[in-house]
A and B are shown apart, each in its own frame.
Chain A
């Protein structure tokens, strides 16, 4: 079977999932099956088929599993959001369409994605500006003490960090491709540890500083960890030096420790994480209420979950029991309703996506492509780790979206761009070599 036919087959689970899911919500709401659920499923399937035909024409050799995996995640997310708030689901569906359009635009404009390298300093500058935007007075909005969003009239806010994520990976892939050799050769060994020269390591230090700045200015531990983790992953793949990673981790750890103990609002986040069930911290403003209720929701789910649509999401007074159930805390809702089994299923789907991403990197024939695919896959994996880790109290909780599942326009668009880049690299890597 050709790659594209395998992709087509891969769309079947997604379409079944979304039809079954919407049917489930409708039965639960109306105690009867309406044809609207089938319509929703049909429209979604139509969109996926259109995207598939587009990929068939433009990227015939690209990895056949990445797009179906995204469809599964997106359809699952749409059903989940619909169950939480049907208004949000309608918006999310619109964002899904816009995301597909931007996906197509990316594929067409950057057909030869290597020209991205020419714009690397523009890209990194824009990415950094986007990162700082939420802190600009009058423009940014504070959510749970962290500056994550930008207010845009008519929408419920945009999280520009989602775009910075892709931009920074593109920049690093290009930069490390150029400097990876000299970084190793110009290094000196001090006390048995290989230290690269400041000249070549400089930009890496800049990103370390940036990660610290994100932590300090935006009090966003999650994004900071995500960017910095992607940097270390790419640095390791580019140079093969574990010592760079170790030095990097120590530097990050020291910085985070310093900020965590000296900056009150960062410190508060660490306290929420360490003692979510302390009544004083639980009841405090910006305290551990959200985290604790996310954990209670997961405990209610148990192994098999309470059943789709059965988790309690509102209090007796009608306010949300878990703040931000459709974005930050959607993993807790999934676990509550579908249990450990459902949650692990979602995680394994992400892992499969990341696996295919790394496969693209391995098959790629040039360093830039390898680093780009690695970086995009790593930052995607780390984003899942940061939000799921936050919701499960593995690490401090910060508001990052669960890719393709959480409600959020910026998130879905940026991740479709990420998918487009991965497929572009993949198509080139798997294209049969034509001898002339």
Chain B
């Protein structure tokens, strides 16, 4: 019987081999497939069990925090609601949905088990606590932006030109990030869309700052170059005229900017040429998604579209560079991009990487990371920047941008824009204003746009006062 017993034991060993094989199959060979299986609720529960870190404004105002949801899980609330929802976003693990900083900063907000407890699982506390993300956003500026927009669709972006810190980022229509599932009405107007970074519009005359930069920085023009301000002129075989077909005669390039003379800037852009214009646009950040610490999937680059709605490759010979030079001709830009244009001029031609995050602080008070200012591109020489700065001051002092005047001896350097949008002949406009202040020591760069004014209002009339309010708020806080 003993030999049978030995053989029987061999069979048992074989059976245990089967058990080890199947255990390895699930723990090793098919583990990834099982972890990713749609029926597997473990990843979701694991997410819900993490106490995500807070998101805070620059003055410590809590923008997002985790609250106990029972059974060891955590939910998310946004005490400031719609005021910051576009920038902060939301996190809805149960719906598999998230947006904004909640996505781009997820790595920090989730935190990670310390390396020691990862090795010895027993010694860790059961709750994983994430790091706090401190942003550069200013609550007072956000409130001013919301108040000044007064419900109109549009965006306000304010940057610190020296550091690239985003001081304000507000857009309408907005939503309450405590309830990110939009109702029908909200959905119809795209309330979840952060227009500041993911919607693009014709920039109109604000783009003349880019054209002027290319013209002066290449040495082809100076602020005092005398140019022909008569209307109309022929651009790409089609007549182009000034507002009200006004002729200005022989004027300086500075005056042409002060009064936003289309019939000067279109030929200037043609003279500078497609290749050079494209080169300067790239330096300003066009043709790339903004280097902002925000989810790439929620941002879009600024570029030129053909009449058929296709993106032209950068520098395409098919572009109507004259009309692009005045911010039309299929050019589509994001409000953040135009704030970056103002910021580069303000900071002696240095374009800083824009960022929403100031620092990340661990629950134990340790600083995980601090975002240092980084140069994105040296767009133009400091001399050119100074010359453009002076030209932009005349716009607010005596030109199309007078409603932006700050008073108190503080000079605002700016540029208005009133792009034609919608079907031709209806006179719908896209009002813009970009600029920076104080002009002699820039601390704030700003871009404001309003989406489609049916009554054809100009950037100077409606966008400039909003920019003024936001800049005043920020300067009064000592920003």
| Interface residues in chain A, defined as those with a beta carbon under 8 Å from any beta carbon in chain B | 24-25, 27-28, 31, 233, 236-238, 240, 277, 279, 282, 292, 295-303, 305-310, 312, 314-318, 321, 335, 337, 339-340, 343-344, 347, 350-351, 354-355, 358, 361-362, 367, 370-371, 374, 378, 381-382, 384-385, 388-389, 392-394
Contacts and interface: CB of A to CB of B under 8 A. Distances in A.
B124 A316 contact: no
Interface of B: 1-2, 4-9, 11-13, 15-16, 18-20, 22-28, 30-32, 34-35, 37, 39-42, 44-46, 48-49, 69-73, 94, 117-118, 120-126
Contact of A394 (B18, B69, B94): B18
Contacts of A292: 39
Nearest to A298: B26
25 contacts: A27-B123, A236-B8, A279-B39, A295-B34, A296-B34, A299-B40, A307-B117, A307-B118, A309-B122, A312-B45, A312-B46, A315-B71, A321-B42, A321-B45, A335-B27, A340-B24, A347-B16, A358-B5, A358-B9, A370-B5, A378-B12, A385-B16, A385-B19, A392-B23, A392-B25
A2 to B, nearest CB: 26
B22 A307 contact: no
A351 B27 contact: no
A389 B121 contact: no
A302 B70 contact: no
A180 B126 CA distance: 59
B45 A316 contact: yes
Given A295-B26, A298-B23, A302-B27, 9 more contacts: A296-B40, A299-B27, A316-B48, A316-B69, A318-B71, A340-B24, A340-B28, A355-B9, A393-B22
Q: DSSP class of A's interface residues: helix, strand, loop or mixed?
A: helix
A296 B71 CA distance: 20
Given A236-B4, A306-B121, A343-B23, A297 B42 contact: yes
Contacts of B70: 316, 318
A25 B49 CA distance: 19
A392 B16 CA distance: 12
A347 B48 contact: no
Nearest to A26: B122
A388 B44 CA distance: 27
Contacts, number: 163
Contacts of A297: 42
B5 A237 contact: yes
B27 A340 contact: yes
A374 B8 contact: yes
Given A295-B26, A302-B28, A347 B5 contact: no
B9 A394 contact: no
Contacts of B20: 344, 347
Contacts of B126: 28, 309
A299 B26 contact: yes
Contact of A301 (B27, B39, B73): B27
A7 B123 CA distance: 32
B9 to A, nearest CB: 5
Given A282-B39, A292-B39, A307-B124, A392 B1 contact: no
A351 B18 CA distance: 13
Given A28-B123, A310-B121, A394-B19, A296 B8 contact: no
Contacts of A295: 26, 34
Nearest to B119: A307
A296 B7 CA distance: 35
A394 B27 CA distance: 14
B71 to A, nearest CB: 4
